[in-house]
Amino acid sequence: MAASGRAGEPVVRVRGLHKRFGHLEVLRGIDMELHQGEVMVIFGRSGSGKSTLLRCVNFLEDPTEGTVEVAGFRLGGGHRTKRKREQIRQLRLHVGMVFQQFNLFPQMTVLENVMSGPMCVRGRDERQIRAEATELLESVGLADKADEHPIRLSGGQQQRVAIARALAMKPEVMLFDEPTSALDPELTGEVLAVMKRLATELHMPMMVVTHEMGFAREVADRMAFFHEGVILEQGPPEQLFDNTQTTETRKFLDAVL
């Protein structure tokens, strides 16, 4: 938990990451680091491996080769022994993830959703957890929805609850896997606003897979363009947008801007 204090050390370090699904090689050698307070926007065509990288960082997918290091845990792929599963679980306690489809638990109320993670780890101080969860809901502007079930909320509201749920674990890094892609256009703003506050006010290190280029230009410290399983180009937004190095990146940006 004290890890957030390790100045200079990267929060996430990925080394030589390869991921194969059968014969299909989705990631073909990724090396990257994410530093304290850094926001990294990952973009690229669908199938270029962006989401797979995110999913490898918290071991929703096992790397085929290479290692991922988060919060002092350095893990690779291979058979999941009991010990390995526990290490993965420990690693995940330090990583928050937000999904494209929100994946809120429908049978729980909004508040119960936000409490669900901490309750599994330190279920004894329920009162404390409830207070923190209520505070988190306030911070995403949904305190009045605490006792509703997620289905009664709009997509944008659901995604904000999902962010609060991930934050309740006090993660050292947040992963966003296309957080606004399933939303109606008029609802993306409220979610992006929450993410922006997370970056600028709380200095939360974030890896964000998104096609929201306005958000990227405004909030990202670094952008990485994925192409066929490798990071083809990366750098600060100004460089990516205004001084693009590769034609592939240029073509993609021209298509989405």
Partner 1 sequence: MTAGGPDLPTDGEPVDRRERLALASARVPFRLKVAVVWVAIFAVLVAFFWLSRFDTDWMLDNLEFIALGLRFTIQMAVGGIVLAVVLAGLGALGRLSSNPVAYGISGFYVSFFRGTPLIVQMFLIYLAMPQVAGNIVSEYPGIPVEYANAFILNAILAGTIALGLNYGAYMTEIFRAGIQSVAGGQGEAADALGMTHAQKMRKVVLPQAFRVVIPPTGNEFIAMMKDTALVSFLGVTAVQAEIFRRAQLAGKADFKNLEAYVLAAGLYWALTALFTFFQARLERRVSRGYVRLPSSSSRPAEQAGGH
Residues forming the site for partner 1 (CB under 8 A): 58, 60, 85, 89-90, 92-93, 95-97, 99, 101, 103-108, 116-117, 120-121, 149-152, 165-166, 169
Cα–chain-centroid distance for residue 76?
19
Rank residues 74 and 251 by Cβ distance to partner 1 and give the closer one. Answer: 74
Question: Residue 150 burial by CB count (10 A; 0-12/13-18/19+): exposed, middle or buried?
Answer: buried
Round to whole Å and give the CA distance between 61 and 58.
8
The least distance separating partner 1 from the CB of residue 218, rounded to whole angstroms, comes to: 27
Rank residues 48 and 58 by Cβ distance to partner 1 and give the closer one. Answer: 58
The least distance separating partner 1 from the CB of residue 8, rounded to whole angstroms, comes to: 26
The least distance separating partner 1 from the CB of residue 181, rounded to whole angstroms, comes to: 14
Rank residues 152 and 203 by Cβ distance to partner 1 and give the closer one. Answer: 152
Record the tokens describing residue 48, joined without a space.
């270029």
Q: Which residues pair with 97 in a beta bridge?
A: 175
The least distance separating partner 1 from the CB of residue 100, rounded to whole angstroms, comes to: 9
The least distance separating partner 1 from the CB of residue 105, rounded to whole angstroms, comes to: 6
| Residue from 186, 190, 102, 92 nearest 139 by CA | 190
Please state the three-class secondary structure of 25-36 as a single string.
EEEEEEEEEECC
Rank residues 6 and 85 by Cβ distance to partner 1 and give the closer one. Answer: 85
The least distance separating partner 1 from the CB of residue 13, rounded to whole angstroms, comes to: 20
Rank residues 130 and 149 by Cβ distance to partner 1 and give the closer one. Answer: 149
Rank residues 166 and 199 by Cβ distance to partner 1 and give the closer one. Answer: 166
